[in-house]
Amino acid sequence: MDRERDNKLNETVKFEATKDNPIEPREILMSVFKSLEEKGYNPINQIIGYILSGDPTYITSHNNARNLIRKIERDELLEEILRAYLETNRD
């Protein structure tokens, strides 16, 4: 019995969180872009500031944009931006 318990203690349990209504990075970017425009900010500059610094105050809280952009990692945002750029500028 002790041996069985010891074996279970040595095993790694894998945890996978389920996402409720996962939102695509593209959708988040477009929503945040629109919210920044509505508030009179330059969306490109603000999003770049956020990606480079990680400081969410670059993003307006209007339309819950600040909370929305924090749902995805900054590297995922950069990946989405690069993917979209390369897809539209292929030879």
**pLDDT bracket for residue 6 (50, 70, 90):** low
**pLDDT bracket for residue 19 (50, 70, 90):** low
Looking at per-residue confidence, does 4 or 49 come out higher? 49
The per-residue pLDDT for 5 is 64
Query: CA-CA distances (angstroms) from residue 54 to 37, 48, 51?
Result: 20, 10, 6
Looking at per-residue confidence, does 81 or 15 come out higher? 81
The per-residue pLDDT for 4 is 66
Q: How far, in Å, CA of 19 to CA of 35, rounded? A: 24
